[in-house]
Amino acid sequence: MSSVLKAVRGTRDLLPPETALWNHVETVARSVFARYGFGEIRTPVIEPTELFSRGVGEETDIVSKEMYTWEDRARAASEKAQSLTLRPENTAGVVRAYIEHKLGETGRLQKLCYIGPQFRRERPQKGRYRQFFQIGAEVIGPPSSGSESPLRDAEVLEMLATLLDELGIARASAENNYKGWKLALNSVGSSTDRPRYVAALREALAPVKDKLCPDNQRRAETNPLRVLDSKDENDQAIIDSLPKIVDYLDAESKQHFADVLAALDACGVPYTVNPRLVRGLDYYTRTAFEFTMETGLGTQNALLGGGRYDGLSETIGGPKAPGIGFAIGEDRLILTLQALAEEKQSAEADNHLHAHKLDAYIAPLGTEQNAAALALASTLRRAGLSVEVGDGTFKMKKAIPLADTLARHLIILGEDEAKAGEATVKTLATGEQVRLSSSELPKRLSSAKP
């Protein structure tokens, strides 16, 4: 027996009116990005697997166990089948495009933003889906374009603060019981600092490894940086005693980070430095950051994350092209806004979650009025009004309540009106009604718009 087909695990359909909120978020994001000089880039959803294994890092969780990867069909016996992957993140793709189109040759700083689906095969949870959407941006260019400047880091962070402000998400403060957004950042060191620090970590971990929890023992081997942000209670004392990354930053990296912080202070962007913040992607250098949010998200409380990736371009065969970027978890942003709307913390989000009433609902009385009703709807719609048309079989008893749920005005088109070239317009909220000639309708309804 055939069973009902459903969306595959971890993927979902987004339906109205929720999609109105998605559109709102994307509109605000595009508006903010445009003001900071970003242009949109659209890269393919499929990329060569190698882009991620080299760019993101073979040993990362994303690459080692979360990618949707398959062998493409070879076109000829002589051709080798290519391994393809559904992108698990978009930074590598953007940098690939930057290299492929020789954008560095322009000599100018590239500011690129994107909105699109990403794919990771993880166990689904609230705020974590196998197809999820990221809104991101990258600032990248040859060193001569100023792409390495701490000004760029601060600008990106300040832009994110502006975006969240404009979406009506408050900053954490005493007034909201510190439940707004929080920015944490750290410097994970340059591409020469980082290996020195990781080596020191390994050395420090070796003698105490046996005392750590099994998870941390494993991390000590595979990815020592991850031990730092472990939540295991018993391991905290050991973790506190481990070497700090700050002590391994060279003078240049230290100055860079200090300059980022100073610029944030100047812009009034609140932050906390978290020396234990590390990110799961290999390409991050120097500035790494994340914005977290308690409302609406369970344990998946990272609303967005990002950082600098000064060596990524070279890793995947490109020219030197330092950059910094971020990715916002759009699904999580939506969950946050929905929760804020529910808690009456965001009238704006609430507004987008409810379908807007149309300007008018046309009720033809009798199917012989259907054609005239549709023609009238056409005229009104071309005049910029939002209109729904009922069917002539609907009785008044059905048409009026239906009109009330959908629209502000009911236009009755019956035999009497048709003969006179008129229509009856009823204002549903008050029950008042007037008869007008059809030609007056567009002007009349337009002036009644809220």
Could you tell me the smallest distance in angstroms from the CB atom of residue 7 to RNA?
8
Minimal distance, residue 206 CB to RNA, in Å: 19
In the complex with RNA, the residue whose CB is nearer, 195 or 298, is 298
In the bound state with RNA, the residue whose beta carbon lies nearer, of 90 and 253, is: 90
Residues forming contacts to RNA in the complex (CB under 7 A) are: 1, 3, 6, 8-10, 12, 60-62, 89, 120-129, 132, 134, 215, 219, 226, 230-232, 279-281, 290, 298-305, 327-329, 331-332, 365, 395-398, 400-401, 404-405, 412, 414-417, 424, 426, 428-431, 433
Where helices occur in 167-192 by DSSP H, the ranges are none
Give residues with Cβ within 8 angstroms of 322, minimum separation 6.
140, 141, 143, 147, 148, 308, 309, 310
Half-sphere exposure of 391 (CA within 13 A, CB side): 2
Q: How far is the CB of 432 from RNA (least distance, A)?
A: 8
Closer to RNA by CB, 268 or 431: give it: 431
Structure tokens at 16: 């109205």
**Shortest CB 108 distance to RNA, Å:** 27
Q: Do 323 and 308 touch, CB atoms closer than 8 A?
A: yes
Is the CB of 38 or the CB of 129 nearer to RNA?
A: 129
Intra-chain end-to-end CA distance of the chain, in Å: 53
Of 127 and 318, CB closest to RNA:
127
CB of 161 to RNA, least distance (A): 15
Q: CB-wise, 228 or 269, nearer to RNA?
A: 228
**Least separation, in Å, of the C-beta of 319 and RNA?**
24
Name the minimum Å distance from CB 80 to RNA: 28
- Radius of gyration of the chain, Cα coordinates, nearest whole angstrom: 28
As a whole number of angstroms, the distance between CA 222 and CA 360 comes to 63
Min separation Cβ 93 and RNA, Å: 13
Amino acid letter, residue 390? G
Contact 91, 105 (CB under 8 A): no
Q: How far is the CB of 358 from RNA (least distance, A)?
A: 13
For residue 187 the two structure tokens come to 């410097």
Task: Name the E strands within 153-310.
Answer: 182-187, 272-273, 285-292, 302-308
DSSP 242: S
Q: In which residue are the tokens 């959803």 written?
A: 45
CA-based nearest residue to 382, from 434, 426, 445, 450: 445
Distance separating alpha carbons of residues 65 and 55, to the nearest angstrom: 15
Instruction: Find the farthest-apart pair of alpha carbons in the chain and give their distance in angstroms, rounded.
Output: 96
**CB of 415 closer than 8 Å to CB of 369:** yes
Which phi and psi angles does 304 have, rounded to 5°? -160, 155
Taking Cα atoms as reference points, which of 230, 293, 305 lies closest to residue 62?
305
Decide whether 142 or 305 has the Cβ nearer to RNA: 305
The residue (of 378 and 393) whose beta carbon lies closer to RNA is 393
Min separation Cβ 88 and RNA, Å = 8
Give the nearer residue to RNA in terms of CB position, either 343 or 415: 415
Distances (CA, A) of 181 to 132, 135, 160, 288, 329: 21, 17, 11, 17, 14
Q: Which is nearer to RNA, 3 or 177 (CB)?
A: 3
Left (φ > 0), alpha (ψ -120 to 50) or beta: where does 348 sit? alpha
